[in-house]
Amino acid sequence: MAVTVADPEPGAPHQPARTRRFPRAGLLRLAGALVSGFAYYLSFAPRPLWWLAPLAFAGFALVLRGRRSFRGAFGYGFAFGFVFFLPLLTWLLDFLGPDFGPWPWLGLSFALALYYGLAGGLITWVSRLPAGPLWAALVFIALETPRAWFPFGGFPWGRVAFSQPEGAFLPLASIGGAPLVGFAVVLSGFCLAALLGRLWDGREALTAALRTRPAVFAATGTLLPVVAGLALWPTVGTGAQDGELTVATVQGNAPDIGLALQGERDVLRNNTIAESERLLDAIHAGKVPKPDLVLWPESATTVTGPDPQVDQLVANFGVPALIGAIYELPDRHLQNSVIAWDPHTGPGQRYAKQQLVPFGEYVPARKLAELVTPFLDSETVDMVPGDGTNQTMTVAGTKVGMFVCYEAAFDYPAQDAVRDGAELLVVPTNNAWYGESEMSVQQLAMSRLRAVEHGRSVVVSAVSGVSAIVAPDGTVTSSTGLFTADSLVGRVPLRTQTTLSDRLGAWTEYGLLALAIAGVAGGLVLRFRTRRGSAGTAGEAAD
C-alpha cells in the first residue's frame, strides 16, 4: 500500500498536518510584519527615534527568516510596507481635501507597498547565498531606485535614509549619500536578525553558536555600520571656508490648506510682503542684524511682468533677494521658479523647479484622472518643469544652489548644485498644502540629511513653516513654528570642499543596484540547482 501524506509511516509519531500549523504561524508572521512596519514609521520625524529603524528591519527579517515561498514573502513585505506608508502619508488627506475621499491616499500607499512586497519576495531568492543578510539589504535598498522613477515620475518619500536626520548613521551621508545611509540601516537590522536567529538555533550550545562563521558575520554586520558612522562624525566639516553670510528668510503664513490654496495667491503675496516689512522694521530698530541675502518661500508671489512693489521692497532691504514665484512664460504657461532680485536692477536669473508634484503642479495620465475627479477641466493647465538652468546663481557675492520643496526627496538637484560650485543651499517650499501634518518636519529631515551629504548649510524658507537654518552637520540652529508669520535671520558658513558623496555622485546608488541584481541572479541560479538536485535525489529514490 502506498504511503501518502495523510498516512504516516507505521510507528512514526503523529505529526499535525502542515495545513493545520500554517494559519497560526502565518498569523504570527503577519502580526510581526505589521508591528515592524509601524515601528519603522515611528522612526521618522518628528520623533527622534532614528535607532528604531534598524530594529524595525530586524523584526521584518525575522518575519522572513526561513521563508522559501516568493508569494508568502511578498505578502509579508507588502504588509510591512502598507502599514508603514499609511500613517506616513496621511498628509495627502489634507492636501486633496474631503472631496477626493481617502482613495488617493490608500491607492498611493498600496502602490508603494508593492515595492516592499517585491523586496520580500526577492529576499527569499538571495537569503541562501553566503552572507545572506548583506544581499537581502542590497535588494531592499535597490528597490528605492525605481521608486524614484515610478509611479508618477517617482515618489521617493519614505526612503530609509530620511529616517536618519540625526544619530549614528547620519555621517555616512558624506561618504555615499542617502543610498549608503539607507543600506547601512537595513544591513544593521538584517544582520541583527541573523544573529538573533543563530543564537536561537544554538540556544543549547551558545558558545558554539557564536563561534560559527555566519554568527561572526552577523555580529560584524550589526555593529560595523554603527561604528563606522560614529567614527566619521569628526570628519563632518562645519567651519567656514569662504567666509560667512547673513541670511534672512521670510515666512508670511497661509490662510488655508490643500488645493484651496490655488485661489489664495494674492493672500500669500500680501502676507509675505507684510512679514518682510515687519522684518525691515526690526532691522532698522537694530533688533536683528541686516542680512546679506533675503529669501522668500516657494510660490510667495506671481510674476507676469514688471513688479514695482517687489522692486521697491527689495530696494528697501538694499541687498539681493531670492524670490519664490509662479512665473508666467510668454506662451502663458507657468513655471514654479526662484528669481534672483537685485535691489538696483530688479529681476535677473531664474531657476525653474524640475521635479513637479503630481496632481499638485501637473496631472499625470490626465485622461484617466478626468474620469475620477471633478476638478479637471480645460482651464486646469499643467506647469512646465525646468531644465536645471541657473540652479546655482551668484548672489550677494556667493554661489547659492537651490532645490524647491519636493525636490528635496530626490538626490540629483542638490548634488548638481554643489558640483556646480554652490557654497550654500536654499530650499524654498510651500508646505501649507499639507496642514499641520508631519509632512513639514519629514521634509525638513531630508534637508538635514542633504546638509551632511554635501557639507553645506541649508536654509529652508517655507510659506507657513517649518522654516529653518541647518548647519552642515545637520543641526537645526533656528526654526519657526507651523502656521505663523515669522522670520529668521542667521549667519551661515560658506563651504567649498566637496564630500566623497559629491565626487561619487550617482555611482554609489548604481553600484548598490548592480550588486543587488548580481545577488538576485546568483540566488536564482542557486535556487534552480537546489531544485534540480532535489528532483534528481527524488528520482533516484523512486528507482
| Catalytic residue (choose from 144, 298, 407, 423) | 298
Determine how many CB atoms are found less than 10 A away from the CB of residue 519. Answer: 24
The residues, ordered by sequence, that sit 6+ positions from 155 with a Cβ below 8 Å of its Cβ are: 108, 112, 147, 148, 358, 409
Q: Using only C-alpha atoms, what is the Rg of the chain?
A: 27
Structural element, H or E, at residue 338: strand 334-342
Backbone phi, psi, residue 33, to 5°? -65, -40
Short-list 328, 329, 332, 342, CA closest to 299? 328
C-alpha cell at 108: 498611493
Which residue among 144, 353, 361, 399 is the active-site one?
353
Tell me if residue 298 is catalytic. yes
| Distance (Å, whole) CA 189 – CA 55 | 6
Given 191, 361, 405, 453, the catalytic residue: 405
C-alpha cell at 160: 530609509
Helices first, then strands: H and E counts in the chain: 17, 13
Known catalytic membership, residue 191: no
| H-run or E-run covering 339 | strand 334-342
Q: Which residue has the cell 556646480?
A: 420
SS (H, E, C) 414-462: HHHHHHCCCCEEEEEECHHHHCCCCHHHHHHHHHHHHHHHHCCCEEEEE
Residues marked as catalytic: 298, 353, 405
